[in-house]
Amino acid sequence: MTQDTNALLTSLIEGYNFSSEGLELGVALIDGKVEPTAPIRLPLKMLNRHGLVAGATGTGKTVTLQLMAEQLSKAGVPVFLADIKGDLSGLAQEAVASEKLTARLAEQGKEFAPRANPVEFLSLGEGTHGTPVRASVDAFGPILFARVLELNETQEECLQLIFHYADTNKLPLDDLNDVKSVISFLVSDEGASALEQLGGVSKATAAVILRGITIMQSQGLDQFFGQPEFDTSDFLQVRENGGVINVLELPSVNQQPMLFSTFLMWLLADLFEDLPEAGDLDKPKLVFFLDEAHLLFKDATKAFTDAIINTVRLIRSKGVGLFFITQSPTDLPDEVLGQLGNRIQHAVRVFTAKDQSALKKIIQTFPVNGVDLQEALTQAGVGEAVITVLDEKGAPTPVAWTKMSSPGSNIGPASPEVLDSNLKASPLAARYATAVDRESAREMLEAKAQPAPAPEAAPEQPAPAPQQESAPRQQRQPKAEPNPMRDMAVDAATMIGRELLRGMFGNRKRRRLW
């Protein structure tokens, strides 16, 4: 080894020598050779400082995700991740050792250890092998719902008025038909005056929103909204064999990317609103992986982007770690990227001038410690990554060109038998499997629209017999004099209470009692 190589190896050994528990990501590559004496680790206590897993398609991001999820589960930390390609169900099934796998691990000084992880399979809507995850439109909130409908800012403000009317009149918005009913009522002659003082709902804007909802229904997307509503605290399960890995099946994300990415954000926002403050923990309560993260910011309004940025900044205090999964760090706003201290960067493919410009920006975000980042980021093979994380004191570790380790679970889909048995044993399936259509806004407005039945004629009553004089009745208390200032204060307090029911994204902060 040259003097520079020795210095790099020493810095990596010292930089990743943590005393606390951590994830074993792999071992360092120096001059193209595996260095088993330099394991690359990530401290558990730093996982709520958030992170990034990036890289071009086919460079190994999915296996890295599986490796991290498995080790988190083993450490007793629950995990949430989305399975977009259908490759992550193998987490529930032990891998079978192969000559190639055994040799790869032996090169790193490790032995193969098969592991089947505790997994809850979830699906948006009626999935084949997953418990349905639903949200009421009411809980989703106007900001996220406007994002799904791809409304502009003016239309979003109108939608917020519609939610405001439903809130104040105790009309539960369970599904898409409930929203359509409230909108139709507010543009009718009877309902037009309800929001007149706040600007009202124009028929043109109402038509845009109704058209968007109708298109969603025609595409079968109404199954994502309804009751029973999924309780995100169910993500926090820990069993005897480790933290539960919650795998959300997203088989048709390419058809409706905006809906799926926004739904993931709702799950995260719901967790943020419900979890208590936790401070710095030895290990997080949950690690949440946001796949296809670039979709969150595509054509997003400033209000929506700001809400994401604030959530990223604040949710670490709730004991939740976030990892954004995307092809390039440049897909994310700088305000978000600046919060991601743990970086796992797989290979970058450079084919155009735009790609070259992006590569320069990526290189500038890494510390400098002797690794040729231009070479590492463009020449890294499949299953290799450039890594820097936060050490136990919160300082960035030296950059390490890393040969990633391998999970003990099956890489690829699990067998149908494993999927079926897992669903049958799920404690959540019985609670959420069957959709419930309770009385909500649509039924209430339909009942209101029905004409009142004519009163029946009362039968003739005989004249009352004279009664003996009884004790004098207690006099009714005189009606209180009207007090405009007091009434205004009550109205203001009531309004403040209602406003507190909605969180950063306009999502419902706690369950209402109708």
C-alpha 191/C-alpha 444 separation (Å) is 14
115-119, 214-218, 305-309, 400-404: which has the minimum mean pLDDT? 305-309
Encode pLDDT of 8-58 as tens digits.
Answer: 899 999 999 998 899 999 999 998 899 999 999 999 999 989 999 999 989
User: 502 vs 81, which has greater pLDDT?
Assistant: 81
Confidence band for 191, pLDDT divided at 50, 70 and 90: confident
Tokens of 456: 């029946």
Beta bridge partners of 124: 133
| Per-residue pLDDT at 365 | 87
Pick from 234, 250, 251: nearest CA to 429: 234
Burial class (CB in 10 A: 0-12, 13-18, 19+), 311: buried
Confidence band for 457, pLDDT divided at 50, 70 and 90: low
Q: Looking at residues 168-194, what average pLDDT do you find?
A: 90
How many degrees, rounded to 5, is the angle at CA 83 between CA 387 and CA 213?
125
Confidence check: pLDDT of 465 > 60: no
Q: At what angle do helices 176-186 and 203-218 cross, to 10 degrees?
A: 160
C-alpha 71/C-alpha 481 separation (Å) is 68
Confidence band for 83, pLDDT divided at 50, 70 and 90: confident
How many degrees, rounded to 5, is the angle at CA 310 between CA 306 and CA 313?
140
Q: Looking at residues 379-398, what average pLDDT do you find?
A: 94
C-alpha 220/C-alpha 387 separation (Å) is 42
Q: Looking at residues 154-178, what average pLDDT do you find?
A: 92
| Per-residue pLDDT at 456 | 63
280-289, 346-355, 448-457, 490-499: which has the minimum mean pLDDT? 490-499
Contact of 87 with 81, CB cutoff 8 Å: no
Q: Looking at residues 427-456, what average pLDDT do you find?
A: 84
| Per-residue pLDDT at 493 | 36
Confidence check: pLDDT of 82 > 50: yes
Confidence check: pLDDT of 346 > 90: yes
Average pLDDT, the chain: 85
Question: How many CB atoms are closer than 10 A to CB 205?
Answer: 22
C-alpha 209/C-alpha 44 separation (Å) is 45
| Per-residue pLDDT at 53 | 96
Half-sphere exposure of 56 (CA within 13 A, CB side): 15
Confidence band for 196, pLDDT divided at 50, 70 and 90: confident
Encode pLDDT of 113-165 as tens digits.
Answer: 999 999 999 988 665 678 999 999 999 899 899 988 989 888 998 999 999 99
Note the pTM of the prediction, 2 decimals. 0.86
| Per-residue pLDDT at 467 | 47
